[in-house]
Structure 1
Amino acid sequence: MDDVPFRGEIRLAGHRRVSHGLGLVRRDGLSEWEEFLRELEAWRLVLPSAAVFTHLTGARLLGWQLPHLPEQVPVFAAVDLQDPRPRRPGLVCSRLVRERRPIHRYGLPIDAPEEILLRAARDLGLLDLVIMIDSALRLNHLDRERMEQLLASGRPGVRMLREAWNRATGKADSAGESVLQQFHVVLGVPFEAQVDITDDEGRLLGRVDLFITGTTSLHEYDGEHHRDKRQHRTDLRRERGIAGTSYVRRGFVLDDLLNHPAAVMHEIDRALGRPHRSSRLRSWRRLVENSMYSESGRSRLVNRWRRQTGLADWSKTG
């Protein structure tokens, strides 16, 4: 019972503030994820009983890959039309205008996956949404029939969500892989995602992120997990196997795609034997600029959320 969240002002050193008039008992040794779940339990004290978590909060509870988020992200919830909509620093609360189909994770109510994406589409950029859709598809969280029904409606956010839905492959194991795929889409480089390759004798060499159509080029995202000792040993064995074949592997990191896209585009164009087109580079930079992978994109979102919550000081919000 000592761990139950409470409403009221915090006057003791052994408690910490979640939002105005909302607190938790301090506990040492908990992970960031465990603290996140505790904070959501606290938020339920000020939310109507029928409320559900949605947007980035719901996506995080479902275990989806997320784009690069600002340091401070509010909690997102949705309430029924007849219920009061609480206003607290750190909480963005919207109205449910359709029949609810809540699901539960960790004992917490969550909006339907397609509704989570629609609410995110009203804030996030195209690149951000593709990352979330790829992850949701890979986890089999999306019903294609319900998605098509939603995309055929005229609800706010549908246009952006439809474009992201048409771009997503559902075959990306990380946010970085989704970014790499979209870089190739913008450059007009056809590819197959998550392809098993074999040597001349039919032995499996492994699965590659992108197989460039009509070539022997393999393009992969080299994320942080490749620096793990066990993964590094696996990567080296696979690279030795590839070295004895006609395949040519190229690895890319996020810094290449976000900060040096011109150099990467020129490298890919030379390998394909085609001329450079600056319009492709401009299109990619616009896509990044409108996403949370740019400083301006993150600042724009934070300012919008501040207006929605009336925040003056984010330093102690959940």
Structure 2
Amino acid sequence: MLERCTAYSAVMAPWAFFSHQTAARIHGLPLPGREEEEPLHVCVWKPERAPRVEGIVGHHATLGSTETVMRRGWQVTAPAHTLRQLASTLSVDNLVILGDALVARDAPLCTLQDLAALLPGAGGSRGAVALREALQLIRVGSESPMETKLRLLLGRAGLPEPALNVNIYDRHGRFLARGDLMYEKERVVVEYDGDQHRSDRAQYERDVDRLERLTDEGWRVIRVLRDHLADPQAVLARVRSALAGR
């Protein structure tokens, strides 16, 4: 998509900017779907005419209603406002995944306060209900879309909300591990293991060592793989059993 953005920017009107899914891709946000199959989304300020070209979806915005920033030398919708634009087309869960990525602890593109400021401007627009629901569920600390999906699964089942990606130390204050979803009182960690944990030998060996250290310190580790999420009730049963046993 970035190559297409580069090509189109050569003929792009000075009052136009990339928006919606295209802005999200430029910001590096984890959108569902295949970006090579997406059209470019280009927005213009009213009363200018939106582009009508094959492969381009044109949009209008009222001056002052949407913020823009420079990314890669292009004018694009600001991160928080990109989330608001996508509220009319994405599910609540996908909006939460994007929101978690926006407020990521290590390299945030915006803050929770920035996202909350979107609500007054959302009004009765299409997607406003989904946006309001998503903003209640976005948290700082998630480090991947699958971690977010796992957290939402636990929360909707009525389980306590875990701490996200917190350092765990042993009884002497030495670092043990960083837990994906942690229940400190119960000493339970729920870990999402992506494919790299299986295919990367060094990663696999680190996981074994880390699991042994946590077990020695009295932590119970629930490891969840992508295939496990095909049976969410089984995942929930494992987590409930671990918490109850503590």
Q: Same fold (TM over 0.5)?
A: yes
CA contact (8 A) 1:56 1:76 kept: yes
Residue 62 of structure 1 is matched in structure 2 by: 27
Secondary structure of 2:223's partner?
strand
Comparing 91-100 with 216-225, which one deviates more in the overlay? 91-100
In structure 2, do the counterparts of structure 1 residues 179 and 71 end up closer, same or farther at CA, with 3 Å as the change threshold?
farther
- The one of 28, 34, 42 equivalent to 1:77 is 42
Residue 207 of structure 2 is matched in structure 1 by: 235
How many residues align? The count is: 238
| Partner Cα separation in structure 1 for residue 131 and residue 102 of structure 2 | 13
Residue 106 of structure 1 is matched in structure 2 by: 72
Matched residue type, 2:17? V
- The one of 186, 196, 219 equivalent to 2:190 is 219
CA offsets 1:116-150 (integer angstroms, 9 cap, x no match): 00111110001101111101101321144443332
Residue 25 of structure 1 is matched in structure 2 by: none
CA contact (8 A) 1:217 1:250 kept: yes
Please list, as runs of the form range in 1=range in 2, the aligned pairs for 1:107-256 lying within 5 A after superposition. Answer: 107-138=73-104, 139-153=107-121, 154-156=123-125, 157-190=127-160, 191-212=162-183, 214-226=185-197, 227-256=199-228
CA contact (8 A) 2:19 2:82 kept: yes
- CA positional deviation for 1:83: 1.5
**Counterpart check, 1:96 vs 2:67:** no
CA contact (8 A) 2:222 2:239 kept: no
Q: Give the gaps of 5 or more residues in structure 1.
A: 1-35, 275-318
CA offsets 1:206-242 (integer angstroms, 9 cap, x no match): 1100112531211011012323233223222212211
Identity %: 29
Matched residue type, 2:143? D
In structure 2, do the counterparts of structure 1 residues 186 and 225 end up closer, same or farther at CA, with 3 Å as the change threshold?
same
**Counterpart check, 1:41 vs 2:6:** yes
TM score, norm. by length of structure 2? 0.87
TM score, norm. by length of structure 1? 0.69
CA offsets 1:3-59 (integer angstroms, 9 cap, x no match): xxxxxxxxxxxxxxxxxxxxxxxxxxxxxxxxx322112223554322111222111
Q: Give the gaps of 5 or more residues in structure 2.
A: none
In structure 2, do the counterparts of structure 1 residues 143 and 172 end up closer, same or farther at CA, with 3 Å as the change threshold?
closer
| Partner Cα separation in structure 2 for residue 98 and residue 166 of structure 1 | 28
| Partner Cα separation in structure 1 for residue 208 and residue 144 of structure 2 | 20
What is the RMSD of the two structures over their aligned residues, measured on CA atoms? 2.2
| Partner Cα separation in structure 1 for residue 24 and residue 40 of structure 2 | 11
In structure 2, do the counterparts of structure 1 residues 93 and 255 end up closer, same or farther at CA, with 3 Å as the change threshold?
farther
Matched residue type, 2:168? I
In structure 2, do the counterparts of structure 1 residues 125 and 144 end up closer, same or farther at CA, with 3 Å as the change threshold?
same
| Higher RCO (CA < 8 A, seq sep 6+) | 1
